[in-house]
Amino acid sequence: MRPAFSSLVQYQLQRSSPWRSLSFQWQTWLAVIAACVLLALVPYVVYCMMTTFTNPPPPNTFKVAAVSFGLLTEILLIKCLSSYICSRYRQAEQSSFTVRPRGFDGDRTSPGRWDQSAAPAAAGHASSTASPSQVDARKGDMLKSECLSFF
């Protein structure tokens, strides 16, 4: 006797673009705009520090310190922005996966975006339903490979 169709339900992994969801978040844009404004202001602040004192002119060590301050501030801002974007990207990537039951072909709106890594169950074997731990493991593997390719 053949088992019922409902006992052979299989799951597919659907992935959307993390960059798309990241670009629709206003917090990300606020951080990027604030960082760009600060990155543009740092050279002006360094220029003001170097030209404010005219009588007597500041020593060269003060000018070197002002330039060093500018460079370190720019590097720190870029590192902070990079870290923020990377962490938001990881969060968006984790939420970009959707596990859906495999159904008839009519429910696939974009077949190119379905993960075909889950092979159908062989005849006589148990169904290949994905447990939550398997889905989490697959997400972790995908995140590790994506984050390593980001740098």
Domain residue extents for the chain: 18-102+118-150
The reported pTM is 0.54
Three-state DSSP class for residue 99 = strand
Q: What helix, strand, coil percent values describe the chain, rounded to 5? A: 65, 10, 30
Residue whose structure tokens are 């600060």: 38
Angle at 145 between CA 143 and CA 151, to 5 degrees: 100
For residue 1, the number of C-alpha atoms closer than 13 Å in the C-beta half-sphere is 2
What pLDDT, on a 0 to 100 scale, did the predictor assign at position 109? 52
What pLDDT, on a 0 to 100 scale, did the predictor assign at position 22? 82
Low-confidence residues of the chain: pLDDT under 70: 1-9, 103-151
The residues, any chain, with a CB within 8 Å of residue 100's CB and separated by 6 or more, are: 11, 12, 14
- Phi first, then psi: what are they for 82, rounded to 5°? -65, -45
What pLDDT, on a 0 to 100 scale, did the predictor assign at position 7? 55
The pLDDT tens digits for 50-91 are: 888 888 888 889 989 999 999 999 999 999 999 999 999 988
Are 33 and 5 contacting, i.e. CB atoms less than 8 angstroms apart? no
What pLDDT, on a 0 to 100 scale, did the predictor assign at position 6? 53
